[in-house]
A = this chain, B = another copy of it.
Amino acid sequence: MDHNTSLEPNLQRRGFLQSGAVLGSALLLGSLATTASADDKMAKAETDFWEVIKTRRSVRKFLPNPVPDADLTKMIDMARLAATSGNQQPWKFLVIRDAEKINQLKEATVKTNAAAHFDSRPDKAVTREEMENGIRKRMAGYFSAPAYIIVLTDNRAQYADYNHWDGPLAAGNLMLAARALGYGTVFITDVIPDRVTKDVFHIPDHYTRVCITPVGVPVAWPDSPPKKKLEEFIAWETID
């Protein structure tokens, strides 16, 4: 889930902005990311199951190379094969490639995040416009992809109470399939607010947004962030 650069006050209090800034600097310095080579600039397919899981990354900066219909369709085909409650299949995948719409989403996101951030600041050392410009710059990577998929579940589905499981399961398959085809994704929640997505794309309220993800060829495949040890996750027979 990506909320590293979210400007919502609650996340700011939890130190998100700081960690986002550190990550951003590290990426600029190339210390966390593999330098893009000529090869990286094409979608590199990976069909070994274990490699797909191991090499999926949250990607936040993309090349403009377009994503063909066939690739987007294949990702969605894999997503809808996820486990689903009583076989209800409550999903919709809204695909956006229209550059003007993507720009509208960006501007609405910048304005919304700036407003939330601005209103929560005790000092007003910067103007609203300056704040928007800063946010626009920091978020540029998120909006650099040629395609976006909004993963939705339909509240009118047969077992809609179970959508909260079905939704992420499909999104997970989608992100893995994108990686298998050589594309980066990132499961975005707060960074691009739910309401903004719904307003800009006129998504009816009978849909619940699971996430929005950019889809594109990464400028570079980032290294994995530090992970806990495998043993820490496993409880054999008993748990504390």
Contacts and interface: CB of A to CB of B under 8 A. Distances in A.
Question: What is the interface of chain A mostly: helix, strand, loop, or mixed?
Answer: mixed
A134 to B, nearest CB: 21
Contacts of A237: 94-98, 101
Interface residues of A, number: 81
A2 B85 CA distance: 6
Count identical subunits in the complex. 2
B49 A239 contact: no
| Interface pairs A-B: 5 shortest CB-CB | A1-B85, A168-B168, A172-B172, A169-B172, A94-B235
Interface of A: 1-4, 14, 16, 19, 46-50, 52-54, 56, 58, 72-73, 76-87, 89, 91-98, 101, 152, 158-159, 162, 164-169, 171-173, 175-177, 180, 186-187, 189, 201-204, 207, 210-211, 225-228, 230, 233-240
